[in-house]
Every structure is written in structure tokens, then in C-alpha cells.
Amino acid sequence: MSTQIEQILELARWAPSGDNMQTWRFEIVAPDHLAVHAYDTRDHCVYDLDGHPSQIAFGTLLETIAIAASGQGLRADAQRRAGERETHPVFDVRFAADPGVARSPLIDVIDKRTVQRRPMRTTPLTAEHKRVLASTVAPDYSLTWLETRDQKWQAARLMFNNARLRLTMPEAFETHRSIIDWENRRHSPDKVPAGALGVDTMTLHLMKWAMVSWRRMATVNTLMGTWAPRLQMDLAPGLACAAHFVLKAHRAPQSIDDYVAAGRALQRFWLTMTTLGLYMQPEMTPLIFSKYAREGTRFTAEPKLEAAARALQGQTEALIFNDDLFPVYMGRLGYGPAPDARSVRRPLAELMKR
């Protein structure tokens, strides 16, 4: 069955992870037993200081493993191993033949699911597509849609305002510099290709020059401001889409397992979206920075930026925290076009634990 596990992993490695970091390694323990050695990025990524975004990504991986296993007629039962460090959880996945397991149609789009950071069509979602998408996250999660012209404007403005915080923060600069692939502009195996960032050629060249050092970036921010990348990467795309969505849990997530479960629901949603001809861009910074502000998490050495986060917290909560549910993920989606550039994945051999 190890050959079957390898076939499953060839598909599962396409699961999404923050900035294409692929924060997991695989170990085939036995013919029916896979260990996933995961690790979060809280030690170097300002967007992951509590590990929760990484934990959501772990969930997308485990769900993708289960979906891929269905193609082999196998059930995949995952359990987090007790006693491991919170920052480095291990998930034991055991496979069992099960005549009740049918091949999931989502298998066909596992390697086609991708992020679209450029403007999409504004064609509204059909009622049937919204029903199908909502059913993929039920019963423990619900979807809130921001789809009217005013709602999309509010969401776009929220992203535009958060982007200023993101682009003027030294701690975020280090993250951005490490994950952009300037050499492989269309397809990057372990980063985000520069061509997928969603900006024009002139802005891209300026970004590449400025991101050599924080000193350069700070100079550009002072002389030219941040409006050009924010306009192209946040405001314009925020308006050019079918809708923004918020994935909300019915009970407050508290443990790693809760965030992993949210990731599993997210991956079902994202893959189903792909079968419907829809594309998506994550929009997590409002949720992340409002959570930091609410919980008093220190995320920068710049006091004025912490104050800015507190100001943005009110804007975020007015738009998103407006019911008794608990937001765990946010993004925008629309009907194409397909992106010209995208992240790919490391070969499976590089993802095997040594």
C-alpha cells in the first residue's frame, strides 16, 4: 500500500499553504500508516504569531489527503499525536479499505485549485452555486457573503487600509522578501512567483528594486507612498469580483484541532469552488491584525503601527464580526479569468522526511 500512499501524496502535496511554504513533511511509517510532520511559522512570520493560519493550512492538507485517498477506495482517518510540541504537531493518518468510500469528484481539481490576485469578473454568484458552496462547509460552519456594491466597496476599502499597515511594517517586509520568487515569475515550486502578485510591470520592477533592503523600501514608501501597490493588489481587485466571503465557525475555535477542522472545511469549499469555474484570493490580514489588536498581541516594534491596527479593528469588526458566529477565514472570489502565473509545489521526494 506504500505505492498507494505515494500516489495519494502526489495529489495531496498540492494543498494550499501560507505563501506556498509547504510546512509539512511526510513519513510512510507502515503500508497503511502515514505520519505528517507539520510545523508552524510563528518564529519568523508576522502573520502567524499564534500559529492559527498554519493550523488552518494543516487542515487543508489532511482534507486533501482524505479526498485523494477516496480515489483508491480508502478511508483516511487522521489523529493528532499526543505529546508533540504545539509548534510542530504530528498527524497520524491511517488508511483502510472501505466499500462505502466513493471516489470524490474533487480529486480532478486538486492540482488546478489556485489563487487569483488580479481582477475577476463581477458576474454575481448564482443562487445554486451559493447553495452548493454553503453545503460544503455545513454543519459546523456558515458562509457570509459580501456581494452588494456597497459591501464590496467596504471590503475593498478594508483591504486597502490593511495593506498600508502591511506595506509599512518592517516585520512584514522580511516575510514578503522571503516568499517572492523573482527568478521564476510564472511558476514557483516553493514561493509566490512575482508574476502572480497582481501588479503591473512598472510597479513590479520598483518592488524588486525596493525589496533589496528595508532602508530602500522605507525610502520608497516615504517618497512615493504605498498607493500604487495597494490600488492594484487590494482596492481594484476588491471591487472586481463576484463577492467577498467570510467562513464562520458556529463555536469559537480554541485548540489546534479546531483550526485544523476549519482548514478541512476551507479546502472542501475551495475545491468545490474550482469545479464551478470560480477562483479565489485569501484576504486574511484584517482577521489577523484585528485579532492581534483585540488580544493585545505585540506584532511590531513600531507603536504607531499598533495604533493603526487598533483603528482598523473597528472597521473590521463592523463589517465582519456582526453576528454570533466566529470568523476563521476571509477571501474574495469570482468567475475567472484563470491566472497567468501560479505557485506550484516541491517534488514529493523533497517533502519526504529524512
* Res. 81: pLDDT tops 70: yes
The pairing of strands 187-188 and 74-80 is: unpaired
Distances (CA, A) of 280 to 118, 163, 234, 305: 10, 18, 13, 28
Reading the block at residue 237, the C-alpha cell is: 481587485
Look at residue 60 and tell me whether its pLDDT is greater than 60.
yes
In the predicted structure, residue 2 carries a pLDDT above the cut 80: no
Return phi, psi of residue 281, to 5°: -130, 125
pLDDT at 235 over 90: yes
| Domain(s) of CATH 3.40.109.10: residues in the chain | 2-113
Tell me: the pLDDT tens digits for 248-287? 999 999 999 999 999 999 999 999 999 999 999 999 999 9
Model pLDDT for residues 24-48, shown as the tens digit of each residue: 999 999 999 999 999 999 999 999 9
Q: What is the pLDDT of residue 33?
A: 97
Distance CA 185, CA 119 (A): 19
Q: Rounded to an integer, what distance in angstroms lies between the CA atom of residue 217 and that of residue 96?
A: 53
Residues 347-352 have a mean pLDDT of 98
Those residues whose C-beta lies under 8 Å from the C-beta of residue 336, and which sit 6 or more positions away, are: 116, 120, 121, 277, 278, 279
Give strand pairing partners of 90: 37
| Residue 5: closest CA among 80, 81, 78, 76 | 76
Q: Region 230-247: what's the mean pLDDT? A: 97
Q: What is the mean pLDDT of residues 168-197?
A: 96
What's phi and psi for 80, nearest 5 deg? -75, 130
The three-class DSSP label of residue 333 is strand
Q: What is the pLDDT of residues 276-327, one digit of tens each?
A: 999 999 999 999 999 999 999 999 999 999 999 999 999 999 999 999 999 9
Tell if the pTM clears 0.75, that is, is over it.
Answer: yes
**Alpha-carbon dihedral 289, 332, 208, 176, rounded to 10 degrees:** 30
Say which CATH architecture domain 2-113 belongs to: 3-Layer(aba) Sandwich (3.40)
Domain covering 127-343 in this structure, CATH number: 3.40.109
pLDDT reported for residue 187: 97
Distances in Å between the alpha carbon of 262 and those of 40, 235, 257, 290? 16, 27, 9, 19
Per-residue confidence (pLDDT) for residue 130, from 0 to 100 = 98
**Average pLDDT over all residues of the chain:** 96
Instruction: State residue 91's pLDDT score.
Output: 98
Instruction: Tell me how far apart the alpha carbons of residues 154 and 158 are, in angstroms, rounded to a whole number.
Output: 6
Residue with cell 488580544: 295
Q: What percent of the chain clears pLDDT 90, i.e. is strictly above it?
A: 98
Query: What pLDDT score was predicted for residue 282?
Result: 98
